[in-house]
Amino acid sequence: MQISTVSTNLLLLVIVLSLLSPAIEAQQPTYLYHDCPNTTTFTVNSTYQANRNTVLSSLSSNSTRGDGFYNTTAGRSPDMVYGLFLCRGDLSTSVCQACVTFATTDISQHCPNQTTAVVWYDECLLRYSNGNIFSVVAGGPTFILRSSQNVTDNQDLFNQQVLAMMNDTANQAANTPEGAKKFATREEDVNFSSTFEALYTLGQCTPDLISMDCNRCLRMVISSLPTEWRGARVLNPSCNVRYETYLFYNQTGVASPPSPPAPGGNGRRSWPIIVAIVVPITASILLLLLMCWLLKRRAKKKYDTNVGYDITTIDSLQYDYATFEAATDKFSDANKLGEGGFGEVYKIL
C-alpha cells in the first residue's frame, strides 16, 4: 500500500519539528560586556587553571537551580578560586541554564588566563576570582550602557519619574525576604509624553548580600544612571539596574523577553499580540520551507530565514558622553576599553 503525499509531508513535518525544537530552545544569550584585568594572570596547566575549570564546571552543573543563583569554590590558598552566577530574576530555569552553560565556556575565551573575570549577558552574569567575592559589594568594575534615543519632550518630568521608580524598585529588591531573589520590577503609566505610554524599571542584587548591602549597591549604580535617554542600564558584579520605555522583562517569569518596539512608536499594548501572531506564523513558514527543500532537494535559497530584530539599531547602547566626557578625556581612544554587544564602552573607575 502506497503512503500518500499528504501523509509523507506530515511525517516529515513532525520530524523537522522534533529536530528543530532543541535548537530553538537553546538560543545563545545576548552578550553585553566582560572585564578581566591583566594585573594578575595564571600559567597554562597550573593548579589555579585546574581549580578555575572545576568552578566553571560546578557552576554549569548547578545552572538548573530554581533561584537562579549559585556560588562555589575550588582548591586551597593561594590557588583557591571563588565563582558564582546570577540569572535575571524573571527568566525560566531553562533560559538561565542556557545562559550559564554558554557563559562558562565564553568567559574562558574572553579571559583565557586572568585570575579575576566577570561577563555580563542580558540573561545572566558569571564571575570568578582569586579573592572572596561572596556576600561582598563589588566596588567595580561598573559599566553604563544607554539607548541611542533621547527624550525630546518634558525631560525634567521624565528624569523625576525614572529616579522615583528606580528608588522604589531598589527598596523592593533590597527588602525581599531572606532566601528569596533580590529582584524587583516596576511599571508606571506616563501622561506627559506622546511617544510612549509607560516606564518600566528593574533592579537586582546577588541574593548573598544582606538587605543593607543590596540597597547600598543599588543606590550606588542608580547614582550613575543617565536619565535623559529612552533607556539605560548600569552593570556591576553585585547588582544592576535598568529602565526602558518598553516592556523588557517577563511579567509571568516563564517566557523569553519580548523585543522592543520600533523607534518612535509607543507600542505598549500592541507587542504581545504582534509577537503571539507573528512568531508562530513565521516558524510555520520556515518549517514548511525546510520541508519543501527536503522533499524536492532544492539548492537555491529563496527566503531569508533570519527572524528577530537588530538590537544595535533599535536599542543601541553606549556610554553617556555628556556626563563622563571629562573622566575619559573627551572619550579619547586612549581611554576606550573596546566595544561590547551594544557599542563602545568606557569603564567607570
pLDDT of residue 313: 25
pLDDT in tens, 149-187: 999 889 999 999 999 999 999 999 999 988 899 999 999
CA distance 26 to 94: 8
Asked whether the beta carbons of 224 and 144 are under 8 A apart, the reply is: yes
Predicted TM-score of the model (pTM): 0.71
pLDDT of residue 193: 87
Fold match between domain 26-129 and domain 143-244: yes
List the domain boundaries for the chain: 26-129, 143-244, 320-348
pLDDT of residue 260: 55
User: Residue 193: left (phi > 0), alpha (psi -120 to 50), or beta?
Assistant: beta
Architecture of the CATH domain 26-129: 2-Layer Sandwich (3.30)
Question: Mind listing the pLDDT tens digit of every residue in the chain (349 residues)?
Answer: 444 554 444 444 434 444 444 444 457 999 999 999 999 999 999 999 999 999 999 999 999 998 999 999 999 999 999 999 999 999 999 999 999 999 999 999 999 999 999 999 999 999 999 999 999 999 999 999 999 999 988 999 999 999 999 999 999 999 998 889 999 999 999 988 888 999 999 999 999 999 999 999 999 999 999 999 999 999 999 999 999 999 999 987 544 455 555 444 444 433 333 334 444 555 556 666 665 555 544 333 332 223 232 222 223 333 444 444 555 565 456 655 655 444 445 555 5
pLDDT of residue 282: 57
Q: Which fold has domain 143-244?
A: Killer Toxin P4; Chain A (3.30.430)
pLDDT of residue 181: 95
Phi, psi of 233 (to 5 degrees): -150, 155
* Distance, C-alpha 46 to centroid of its chain: 32
Asked whether the beta carbons of 91 and 68 are under 8 A apart, the reply is: yes
Asked whether the beta carbons of 185 and 249 are under 8 A apart, the reply is: yes
pLDDT of residue 266: 45
pLDDT of residue 253: 52
pLDDT of residue 153: 86
- From residue 47, alpha-carbon distances to 39, 51, 77 in Å are 18, 6, 11
pLDDT of residue 334: 63
pLDDT of residue 318: 38
Grid cell of 178 as nine digits: 531572606
pLDDT of residue 281: 57
pLDDT of residue 182: 97
CA distance 235 to 204: 10
Grid cell of 142 as nine digits: 561598573
- Over the chain, what HEC string results? CCCCHHHHHHHHHHHHHHHHHHHHHCCCCCEEEEECCCCCECCCCCHHHHHHHHHHHHHHHCCCCCCCEEEEEECCCCCCEEEEEEECCCCCHHHHHHHHHHHHHHHHHHCCCECCEEEEECCEEEEEECCCCCCCCCCCCEEEEECCCECCCCHHHHHHHHHHHHHHHHHHHHCCCCCCCCEEEEEEECCCCCCCCEEEEEEEECCCCCHHHHHHHHHHHHCCCCCCECEEEEECCCEEEEEECCCCCCCCCCCCCCCCCCCCCCCCCCHHHHHHHHHHHHHHHHHHHHHHHHHHCCCCCCCCCCCCCCHHHHCCCECCHHHHCCCCCCCCHHHCCEEECCEEECEEC
The two most distant CA atoms of the chain are separated, in Å, by: 80
CA distance 5 to 22: 27
